[in-house]
Structure 1
Amino acid sequence: MFNNYAKSELELMVGSNEKILWKGKPNKRCFILEGIFNPMLPFALAWFLFDSLFIATFIGGAATSGAPAVFSIFPLIFFLIHLMPVWIYLGGVIFVFRRYQHTEYIVTDKGVYISGGLFSYTCNMKPFTELARVNIHRGIIDQIIGVGDVVLTSNNIADYYNSDVRVNGRPVGTGFGITISDIKDYRKVFELIKKLQEDIYTDTMYPNALRPEENPGYRTKYNGLN
């Protein structure tokens, strides 16, 4: 099903004993809009308006005082540095296309793979055995465009400190889990992951009393989707 084209970098990280059940990327339109209208926008806008008042006052005062232009250079450099939150926001918007290129999602019969990054490339894999809950989240832009997020919550506290993978400033590898963001078939992916998580978790919790005395190891193949 997925063997008729060149494999992406994320696909190459999938184990040879794993079967890819779904793969995709975020909706480009939604991804770009969320990159523009991200939580930092109000802060950056307020910061810019605040600094603009001082810059306008300074330029007006310098023009009326007749001071040499050289005395205006250092204050302007200060304001350019002071506008750093604005530059950070604009940088995030400018490089949104590069983040989109690095963002990809894969669901296998073992777990979920998510890639991301701006200048670097990061892959995060979460086995189904570590997932506690699966939820759907749809923001305002998601609802307008008709996409959604599948939020996978982990019971592993170590995930709280893993902040390598981010999408539009939002961590998709933190908060005790990972998120598949801005996908069209979010309901289908939600049902798929929910079934896989429940079936595989139930299998790992199989009572020891019902297991054979000799076990060569976990080599079973998942056939729940057949």
Structure 2
Amino acid sequence: MYRLEKLLNADEKVLWSGKPVRKAFILPVLVSIPFGFIFLGFAIFWMGAAASSGAPNEFSLFGLLFVLIGIGIAFGPFLFQLLRYRNTEYMITDKRIVTQTGAIGLDTRFVDFEKVQEVYVQIGVLDRLFGTGSVYAMTAGFSGFAPRGGYGYGGYGGFGFNRPSLAALKEPYEVQKLLQEAIEQSKKTKTEL
């Protein structure tokens, strides 16, 4: 959390910080492995058939491209998500939500509490297996159509209404409660001024 703390304002106080649960964050993308191996199997079969039929060597070499694509389908998403996990951090301060993620570069988002309209928890099928869940904050002015997982997480696919997301958390209801209380306290403080 050291990277995020360096980005805070001097008057900000960290209320919570954390990372996603590694297994819950990474393992859902393993669903691509069987598809990659199926693609890889067809490519190897095609290369073997081309070689045994007496076709020119270029046909076999052309199949090598599809072997590489199959390897990419099988292992690419896993490696990408592993790199994203390493760079994914979440923080709630007394003023805003801060999320950071990225496989190679970093995407850091700052969402002030006054923009948050709704906070909710989502626990999917895989979350039940891992004992995790995700906390989502809907913001003012958000159109409601974004890749599932929002800022911090690739998710399991599909589309949803989330901005930002604190995904694959061990205690999502505790984090949601803390976030909701921080938002209420922030509103109360602003009305007193």
With normalisation by structure 1, the TM-score equals: 0.69
Q: Which runs of 5+ in 2 are unaligned?
A: none
Note if 1:66 corresponds to 2:54. yes
Equivalent pair of 2:44/2:67 in contact (CA under 8 Å): no
Q: How does 1:103-182 map onto structure 2 within 5 Å?
A: 103-157=88-142, 165-168=151-154, 175=161, 177-182=163-168
SS in 2 for 1:10: helix
Name the counterpart of 1:87. Answer: 72
Provide, for residues 4-34 of structure 1, a one-character-per-residue CA deviation record: whole Å limited to 9, x for no partner: xxx6111111111111011111111212212
Pairs aligned (count): 190
Equivalent pair of 2:136/2:162 in contact (CA under 8 Å): no
Equivalent pair of 1:149/1:181 in contact (CA under 8 Å): yes
Note if 1:26 corresponds to 2:35. no
Q: 2:183 aligns with which of 182, 197, 200?
A: 197
Percent identity, aligned pairs only, is 24
- 1:46 is displaced (CA, Å) by 4.6
Structure 1 residues 89 and 122, CA gap change in structure 2 (3 angstroms): farther
Task: State the one-letter code of the partner of 2:20.
Answer: P
Equivalent pair of 1:92/1:168 in contact (CA under 8 Å): no
Name the counterpart of 1:11. Answer: 5
Structure 1 residues 45 and 104, CA gap change in structure 2 (3 angstroms): same
Task: State the one-letter code of the partner of 1:75.
Answer: F
C-alpha distance in structure 2 between counterparts of 1:169 and 1:136, whole Å? 14
C-alpha distance in structure 2 between counterparts of 1:18 and 1:128, whole Å? 13
C-alpha distance in structure 2 between counterparts of 1:168 and 1:89, whole Å? 17
Task: State the one-letter code of the partner of 1:24.
Answer: G
Provide, for residues 38-70 of structure 1, a one-character-per-residue CA deviation record: whole Å limited to 9, x for no partner: xxx3xx74575367446524522531x3345x2
C-alpha distance in structure 1 between counterparts of 2:82 and 2:24, whole Å? 12
C-alpha distance in structure 1 between counterparts of 2:167 and 2:72, whole Å? 25
Structure 1 residues 176 and 127, CA gap change in structure 2 (3 angstroms): same
Q: Which runs of 5+ in 1 are unaligned?
A: 1-6, 212-219, 221-226
Task: State the one-letter code of the partner of 1:156.
Answer: G
With normalisation by structure 2, the TM-score equals: 0.79
C-alpha distance in structure 2 between counterparts of 1:145 and 1:131, whole Å? 28
SS in 2 for 1:62: helix
Structure 1 residues 165 and 89, CA gap change in structure 2 (3 angstroms): farther
Task: State the one-letter code of the partner of 2:6.
Answer: L
Equivalent pair of 2:90/2:99 in contact (CA under 8 Å): yes
Task: State the one-letter code of the partner of 1:76.
Answer: G
